Amino acid sequence: MRRAYIGLGANLGDPPAQLRAALAAISQLGRLVAVSPFYRSAPMGPAGQPDYCNAACALDTALDAAALMAALLSIERRMGRVRSEKWGPRTIDLDLLHVEGEVRADADLTLPHPGIGVRNFVLVPLADIAPELWIPGIGGVADAAARIGRQGLAPWPPAP
Protein backbone atom coordinates (compact mmCIF):
# COMPACT_ATOMS: atom_id res chain seq x y z
CA MET A 1 0.00 0.00 0.00
CA ARG A 2 1.15 3.49 -0.84
CA ARG A 3 -0.36 6.80 0.12
CA ALA A 4 -1.69 8.96 -2.69
CA TYR A 5 -2.93 12.53 -2.46
CA ILE A 6 -5.76 13.67 -4.70
CA GLY A 7 -7.10 17.15 -5.37
CA LEU A 8 -10.82 17.55 -6.03
CA GLY A 9 -12.72 20.43 -7.58
CA ALA A 10 -16.14 21.15 -9.07
CA ASN A 11 -18.10 24.22 -10.11
CA LEU A 12 -21.17 22.85 -11.92
CA GLY A 13 -24.38 21.52 -10.41
CA ASP A 14 -24.06 21.14 -6.64
CA PRO A 15 -20.27 21.30 -6.18
CA PRO A 16 -20.12 20.01 -2.58
CA ALA A 17 -22.38 17.08 -3.54
CA GLN A 18 -20.13 16.38 -6.53
CA LEU A 19 -17.09 16.27 -4.24
CA ARG A 20 -18.86 13.96 -1.79
CA ALA A 21 -19.86 11.61 -4.63
CA ALA A 22 -16.29 11.60 -5.95
CA LEU A 23 -14.95 10.86 -2.46
CA ALA A 24 -17.34 7.90 -2.18
CA ALA A 25 -16.03 6.56 -5.50
CA ILE A 26 -12.39 7.20 -4.52
CA SER A 27 -12.94 5.27 -1.29
CA GLN A 28 -13.55 2.17 -3.43
CA LEU A 29 -9.94 2.40 -4.71
CA GLY A 30 -8.34 1.80 -1.32
CA ARG A 31 -8.68 3.20 2.18
CA LEU A 32 -9.61 6.87 2.38
CA VAL A 33 -7.56 8.13 5.34
CA ALA A 34 -8.18 11.90 5.33
CA VAL A 35 -10.37 14.53 3.68
CA SER A 36 -9.77 18.26 3.96
CA PRO A 37 -12.45 20.86 4.57
CA PHE A 38 -14.10 22.20 1.42
CA TYR A 39 -12.97 25.59 0.11
CA ARG A 40 -14.48 28.13 -2.27
CA SER A 41 -12.11 29.57 -4.88
CA ALA A 42 -12.40 31.75 -7.94
CA PRO A 43 -12.04 29.82 -11.20
CA MET A 44 -8.86 29.79 -13.26
CA GLY A 45 -9.46 30.23 -16.96
CA PRO A 46 -12.49 31.57 -18.82
CA ALA A 47 -14.49 34.34 -17.14
CA GLY A 48 -18.11 33.93 -16.15
CA GLN A 49 -17.75 30.56 -14.45
CA PRO A 50 -19.17 29.82 -11.02
CA ASP A 51 -16.74 29.55 -8.09
CA TYR A 52 -15.12 26.21 -7.43
CA CYS A 53 -15.48 23.95 -4.45
CA ASN A 54 -12.05 22.40 -3.75
CA ALA A 55 -10.68 19.79 -1.36
CA ALA A 56 -7.92 17.24 -1.02
CA CYS A 57 -7.87 13.68 0.22
CA ALA A 58 -5.35 11.02 1.16
CA LEU A 59 -5.84 7.45 -0.01
CA ASP A 60 -3.91 4.32 0.91
CA THR A 61 -4.06 2.13 -2.18
CA ALA A 62 -2.48 -0.93 -3.73
CA LEU A 63 -2.91 0.61 -7.20
CA ASP A 64 0.19 1.91 -8.92
CA ALA A 65 0.16 5.56 -10.00
CA ALA A 66 -0.85 4.84 -13.61
CA ALA A 67 -3.72 2.56 -12.58
CA LEU A 68 -4.87 5.08 -9.98
CA MET A 69 -4.84 7.89 -12.54
CA ALA A 70 -6.86 5.73 -14.94
CA ALA A 71 -9.36 5.01 -12.16
CA LEU A 72 -9.69 8.73 -11.35
CA LEU A 73 -10.32 9.55 -15.01
CA SER A 74 -12.98 6.82 -15.07
CA ILE A 75 -14.69 8.39 -12.04
CA GLU A 76 -14.65 11.76 -13.81
CA ARG A 77 -16.28 10.26 -16.91
CA ARG A 78 -18.95 8.47 -14.87
CA MET A 79 -19.72 11.77 -13.13
CA GLY A 80 -20.21 13.56 -16.45
CA ARG A 81 -16.86 15.29 -16.87
CA VAL A 82 -16.35 16.50 -20.42
CA ARG A 83 -12.87 17.69 -21.35
CA SER A 84 -13.66 20.30 -23.97
CA GLU A 85 -12.12 23.53 -22.69
CA LYS A 86 -8.89 23.98 -20.73
CA TRP A 87 -9.77 25.31 -17.27
CA GLY A 88 -13.44 25.45 -18.23
CA PRO A 89 -16.34 24.65 -15.92
CA ARG A 90 -16.65 21.05 -14.80
CA THR A 91 -18.79 18.68 -12.83
CA ILE A 92 -15.70 17.17 -11.23
CA ASP A 93 -11.94 17.46 -11.53
CA LEU A 94 -9.72 14.85 -9.89
CA ASP A 95 -5.98 15.52 -9.91
CA LEU A 96 -3.45 12.98 -8.72
CA LEU A 97 -1.20 15.34 -6.81
CA HIS A 98 1.43 13.09 -5.29
CA VAL A 99 2.11 9.42 -4.68
CA GLU A 100 4.61 8.70 -1.95
CA GLY A 101 7.89 7.43 -3.35
CA GLU A 102 7.11 8.31 -6.96
CA VAL A 103 8.48 11.02 -9.22
CA ARG A 104 7.73 10.75 -12.92
CA ALA A 105 7.18 12.80 -16.03
CA ASP A 106 5.93 10.96 -19.06
CA ALA A 107 3.22 11.42 -21.68
CA ASP A 108 0.53 9.98 -19.41
CA LEU A 109 1.35 11.29 -15.96
CA THR A 110 3.54 13.80 -14.16
CA LEU A 111 4.16 13.37 -10.42
CA PRO A 112 4.13 15.42 -8.39
CA HIS A 113 1.36 17.28 -10.22
CA PRO A 114 2.97 20.20 -12.10
CA GLY A 115 0.60 22.83 -10.66
CA ILE A 116 0.77 21.76 -7.04
CA GLY A 117 3.25 24.40 -5.90
CA VAL A 118 1.48 27.44 -7.37
CA ARG A 119 -2.18 26.87 -6.52
CA ASN A 120 -3.40 27.76 -3.06
CA PHE A 121 -6.67 25.91 -3.69
CA VAL A 122 -4.50 22.77 -3.85
CA LEU A 123 -1.83 23.50 -1.23
CA VAL A 124 -4.10 24.79 1.54
CA PRO A 125 -6.43 21.75 1.58
CA LEU A 126 -3.41 19.45 1.24
CA ALA A 127 -1.76 21.15 4.22
CA ASP A 128 -4.96 20.57 6.22
CA ILE A 129 -4.58 16.80 5.86
CA ALA A 130 -0.81 16.34 5.48
CA PRO A 131 1.10 19.33 6.87
CA GLU A 132 4.31 17.32 7.28
CA LEU A 133 4.24 15.92 3.73
CA TRP A 134 7.43 16.61 1.77
CA ILE A 135 6.97 16.93 -1.98
CA PRO A 136 10.01 16.86 -4.28
CA GLY A 137 10.54 20.25 -5.87
CA ILE A 138 8.07 21.91 -3.49
CA GLY A 139 9.30 21.10 0.01
CA GLY A 140 7.10 20.87 3.07
CA VAL A 141 3.41 21.28 2.27
CA ALA A 142 2.62 23.41 5.33
CA ASP A 143 5.49 25.80 4.52
CA ALA A 144 4.51 25.97 0.84
CA ALA A 145 0.87 26.68 1.78
CA ALA A 146 1.97 29.44 4.17
CA ARG A 147 4.15 31.02 1.48
CA ILE A 148 1.41 31.03 -1.15
CA GLY A 149 -1.26 32.30 1.25
CA ARG A 150 -5.04 32.06 1.31
CA GLN A 151 -6.01 34.99 -0.88
CA GLY A 152 -9.21 34.14 -2.75
CA LEU A 153 -9.98 31.08 -0.59
CA ALA A 154 -12.91 30.85 1.80
CA PRO A 155 -14.57 27.99 3.63
CA TRP A 156 -17.41 26.32 1.73
CA PRO A 157 -20.00 27.26 2.67
CA PRO A 158 -18.76 30.66 3.77
CA ALA A 159 -19.15 31.33 7.48
CA PRO A 160 -22.16 33.57 8.25
Domain ranges of the chain: 2-155
Of 40, 93, 119, 128, the active-site residue reads 93
Establish whether 90 is a catalytic residue.
yes
**pLDDT of the residue at 33:** 97
Establish whether 95 is a catalytic residue.
yes
Question: Is residue 88 over pLDDT 90?
Answer: no
Rounded Cα distance between 6 and 72, Å, is 9
CATH class of 2-155: alpha beta
**pLDDT of the residue at 40:** 95
Record the pTM. 0.93
**pLDDT of the residue at 85:** 62
Establish whether 81 is a catalytic residue.
yes
Rounded mean pLDDT, 9-22: 94
The least confident of 71-85, 103-117, 121-135 is 71-85
